[in-house]
Amino acid sequence: MVFNSFNFVGFIIPILIVYWIFFKKSKVSQNILLLVSSLVFYAWADWRFLILLLISILLNYYLGKKISNTTNETIQRHFLYIGLIFNIGLLLYFKYFNFFYEGFVEILNVFGASASYNTLSILLPLGISFFSFQTLGYLIDIYNEETEPSNNLLEFSVFVSYFPKILSGPIERASKMMPQIQEKRNFTYPVFVDGLRQILWGLFAKIVIAENCAAIANPIFNDYGNQSGSVLLLGTFFYAIQLYADFSGYSNMAIGISKLFGIQLMRNFSTPFFSTNISDFWRKWHISLTTWMMDYVFTPLSFSLRSYQKKGLIISIIATFVLVGFWHGANWTFVFYGLLHGIYFIPLVYSGKMNTSEIVAKGKLLPSFVELIKMILLFILIMLTDVFFRTHNVSEAFDYIFLIFSNNIFSIPTEIFSSNYLITTALLFLFIAVEWLHREKSHDFEISHYPFILRWICYIVLYLLILIFGKSAETFIYFQF
Amino acid sequence: METLTIKENISDVLKSILGHNNFEMHDELTAKDVDGWDSLSHMMIITKIEEAFNIKFKLRDLNKLKNMGSLVSVIQSKI
């Protein structure tokens, strides 16, 4: 059940009514309702793994308490290790087993053993990369004494399974989300309306922008061998926008839906393409994953390598980004994607410009010429790297990029004069303009400060654009992760 | 060591890593308030502090650092 479906609307409206009308006085009944809805939602997506989710909730709840109940550091560490083995083990088994198994057999073959293999047909439980990272973070935070363990199984179950975020994030932190579940939620009109606004914008990004870009990019990627360099370049451009609009649109819907229940999830995208260097970009792209990696991978790693100074820093950055890439799936393309992004950091480390992260052209209407050039160059770099994200294997990605530069890159593609290109481009201008205007706001469509008439014009225009240009979509790119 | 001396030494470290001293030393000062002090430069600052005071931090110590006051008290507990 995707957010942009009538099933979901039919699912959520009765829950909202019961939540705010009948259960508004009791935190416990609000939480029971959220838990039951979340389990139904998850079972609807894939009932076979409901048991797995429940086991994960129970075990992590128990381990969290065990870690904090003792002051003996060795015992604490043992319970943490059990949690790490369980949560990482789940991921390794369901997501990466065949990848390592194939690699292992191939290594055997290199050494002369003629091993053959039958990969197991393992189904990937939906959302596993998201909820196991969330429970991992929970246990590590308790071990580091950064957060208190939950003493209420109901509240903890809501924290893990909460339906707006279970399938595709944001990856929440206990310190931010638990306190909200521990209190009774009160209905506030501005928050509710802001949630609806954010859902509307997410819907526009997903079914208008992402789907129209996909309609252009897919045929190009599927038949890249027979395209000219300039068309291939267009393919990467539209794919890069598709990827962003798809996932940021999803995240905006998830955060917006959660606001309807009075729970604030963390921001996941903060207009990442308005960045002037790669470090700035990664502070704004899939923020819940990158901050997770920062806290639990980069920090410990760079701490242990700190005596190597800048070299230690670079190794830590590259290792972290390889892991960021690999998190997306068991494919070398993702490893390469992460590796390349890690390498892009090297000049920044040496120039000492790593730390410049700020809103581009803050308080101004337009960026300066230099800022504009930097943003465009950075976008081109990211767009070309996204080819690794899209293709099925690494050699295909290199082929694709090689063909861009070797096969008539300067020819003018006739496709650009077709109506779907022109319409998509016009919609893109609108999309980019709105994001640019709200880059300093708490989300991309925070227009509460607009006059009443203007706000309603915006809603109606978006609604009409969705009706006219929206394409139905069954899934989101990030569901596969 | 006096709190004041510790703060002076920390201030020197920050200056040498970040290349500026546009900050005021007080207990509530956090990394966010200081230009350029982020998760990436943090490790370099920590290493320099370890050298300056001849101490070794544990990873858990770092997680407890919330502001300048807590940094000073962690350092004090180690020398």
Instruction: Show me where the domains of chain A are located.
Output: 6-186, 190-274+359-480
- Mutate one of B15, B20, B43 to test the A interface: name it (highest A CB count within 10 A): B43
**Tens digits of residue pLDDT in A173-206:** 999 999 999 999 999 999 999 999 999 999 999 9
Selected residue with higher pLDDT from A334 and A118: A334
DSSP A122: P
Contact with chain A for residue B44, Cβ under 8 A: yes
In 3D, which of A200, A66, A162 has the Cα closest to residue A470? A200
Contacts of B34 in chain A (CB under 8 A): none
pLDDT of residue A272: 96
Contacts of A321 in chain B (CB under 8 A): none
* Rounded (10°) CA dihedral A256, A257, A259, A264: -80
Contacts of B20 in chain A (CB under 8 A): none
What is the arithmetic mean of pLDDT over A211-233?
A: 93
Selected residue with higher pLDDT from A214 and B63: A214
- Mutate one of A302, A349, A350 to test the B interface: name it (highest B CB count within 10 A): A302
CATH top class, domain B3-78: mainly alpha
**Record: contact B40-A300, CB cut-off 8 A:** no
pLDDT of residue A98: 78
What is the CB neighbour count within 10 angstroms for residue A413?
Answer: 18
Using CA atoms, how far residue B65 sits from A36, A181, A474, B39, B71, in Å, is 39, 27, 46, 13, 6
**Record: contact A303-B59, CB cut-off 8 A:** yes
Instruction: Tell me how far apart the alpha carbons of residues A392 and A332 are, in angstroms, rounded to a whole number.
Output: 9
DSSP A225: G
Q: How many helices (H) and strands (E) does chain B have?
A: 4, 0
Contact with chain A for residue B47, Cβ under 8 A: yes
**Record: contact B59-A309, CB cut-off 8 A:** no
Q: How confident is the model at residue A96 (pLDDT cuts 50, 70, 90)?
A: confident
**Tens digits of residue pLDDT in A141-166:** 999 888 999 999 999 999 999 999 99
B47 closest CB neighbour out of A279, A299, A306 = A306
Contact with chain A for residue B69, Cβ under 8 A: no
DSSP A19: I
**Record: contact B39-A307, CB cut-off 8 A:** no
pLDDT of residue A354: 64
Contacts of A312 in chain B (CB under 8 A): 43
Q: How confident is the model at residue A353 (pLDDT cuts 50, 70, 90)?
A: low
Q: Which residues contact A128 (CB under 8 A, 6 or more apart)?
A: A49, A90, A91, A94, A95
B43 closest CB neighbour out of A146, A306, A356 = A306
DSSP A308: G
**Record: contact A313-B37, CB cut-off 8 A:** no
* Six-digit token string for A272: 């990442």
Instruction: Tell me how far apart the alpha carbons of residues A53 and A60 are, in angstroms, rounded to a whole number.
Output: 11
Instruction: Tell me how far apart the alpha carbons of residues A444 and A270 are, in angstroms, rounded to a whole number.
Output: 8
Instruction: Tell me how far apart the alpha carbons of residues A219 and B40 are, in angstroms, rounded to a whole number.
Output: 41
The nearest CA of chain A is from the CA of B63 a distance in Å of 7
The nearest CA of chain B is from the CA of A386 a distance in Å of 25
A26-29 own/partner pairs: CB under 8 Å, 24+ apart: A26/A184, A27/A182, A27/A183, A27/A184, A27/A185, A28/A154
Range from A93-107, A311-325, A440-454, B8-22 carrying the lowest mean pLDDT: A93-107
- Angle value at C-alpha A196, between A130 and A262, nearest 5 degrees: 65
pLDDT of residue A115: 64
3-class SS letters over A249-291:
HHHHHHHHHHHHCCCCCCCCCCCCCCCCCHHHHHHHCCHHHHH
pLDDT of residue A233: 94
